[in-house]
Amino acid sequence: MATLGLAAYGYGIRYEFGIFNQKISNGWQVEEADDWLRYGNPWEKARPEYTIPVNFYGRVEHTPEGVKWVDTQVVLALPYDTPVPGYKNNTVNTMRLWSAKAPNEFKLEDFNVGGYIQAVLDRNLAENISRVLYPNDNFFEGKELRLKQEYFVVAATLQDVIRRFKSSKFGSRDAVRTTFDAFPDKVAIQLNDTHPALAIPELMRVLVDIEHLSWEKAWDVTIRTCAYTNHTVLPEALERWPVQLFESLLPRHLAIIYEINRRHLENVARKFPGDNDRLRRMSLIEEGTTKRINMAHLCIVGAHAVNGVARIHSEILKKTM
């Protein structure tokens, strides 16, 4: 994109450990830890002034002012920027990677009563979010840490994108708040497979709960902003998160996904009256022994454009998904 002169930001997680270093021993692959930051990274620049809080767990509260997500655990997202120069064109884009840091809430009295060690251990738990990349991407395993990683990158990135939009001349303010009319014209969010699918309910949460847009307006902005590239149609690789895990980790997002699904199924029922089997197939929520959220369906419903990684892949996507 830099070489094409397209203004873009790449967002991801700054993993302390990469996939692995490969060694060959007696003709077999042996994996060793990839401690790639051991000697530092001269290309990156830490930007602590743009550190962003990311929330987990907690509960949802309905108040006269609207819905609030309260009693959450906070992890800080610290950005590191790497310049990405285009080829012979004086264009440099930025790759911004987030590193997880625990908030600095150490109490001296904890140390005095022996709670300091536990405080440090708890801190490590928060910072595990950016510790290691899951290597096996062609088989989906529903791990809580992975869902934390996916929400962490999405929540930090969207706050960063919205901050930048608000500081531009396009984020014009009326008497009360920023208007988001120009948002989809100035911001394009490309979801790279289902890993950042939570961008859809997170953008809805920000627009409805924090910016106080109506659901209809927020959904219009979200759909026109988000697009989705699908990388695999293999069922074992597609993300399907247990509802129970969402209930504990991201309770507000679960409620938003349920509402997206309710409105989506109403649309399907209007187009295909009486076709209950289609409703079941096209639902974002898969019923069964374990209720699951189908993240590919969420991406398809919440995006204005969907593509596979090649034309033939897009055709397979249309026919099978």
**Per-residue model confidence as pLDDT tens digits over 35-90:** 999 999 999 999 999 999 999 999 999 999 889 999 999 999 999 999 999 999 99
Q: What is the pLDDT of residue 252?
A: 98
Q: Which residue has the tokens 């790497």?
A: 82
The stretch 108-130 carries a mean pLDDT of 75
Q: Is 276 exposed, middle or buried (0-12, 13-18, 19+ CB in 10 A)?
A: exposed
The stretch 264-289 carries a mean pLDDT of 95
The stretch 287-307 carries a mean pLDDT of 95
Q: What is the pLDDT of residue 221?
A: 97
Work out the pLDDT band at 98, boundaries 50, 70, 90.
Answer: very high
Dist CA 165 CA 167 (whole Å): 5
Contacts of 160 (CB under 8 A, 6+ apart): 11, 50, 52, 79, 96
Structural domain boundaries in the chain? 136-321
Asked whether the predicted pLDDT for residue 293 surpasses 90, the reply is yes
Give CA separation, 50 vs 167, 175, 199, in Å.
14, 27, 19
Measured on CA atoms in the order 130, 35, 141, 318, is the torsion positive or negative? positive
Q: What is the pTM of this model?
A: 0.91
Helix (H, G, I), strand (E, B) or coil at 192: strand
In eight-state DSSP terms, residue 131 is T
Q: Are 16 and 131 in contact (CB under 8 A)?
A: yes
Q: What is the pLDDT of residue 104?
A: 74
Instruction: Write out the CATH class of domain 136-321.
Output: alpha beta
Beta bridge partners of 227: 190
Asked whether the predicted pLDDT for residue 281 surpasses 90, the reply is yes
| DSSP symbols for 155-201 | HHHHHHHHHHHHHSTTS-B-SSSB--TTHHHH--EEEESSTTTTHHH
Q: What is the pLDDT of residue 242?
A: 94
Residue 285 has a CB neighbour count (10 Å cut-off) of 20
Q: What is the pLDDT of residue 176?
A: 55
> C-alpha dihedral over 275, 282, 269, 307, to 10 degrees?
-120
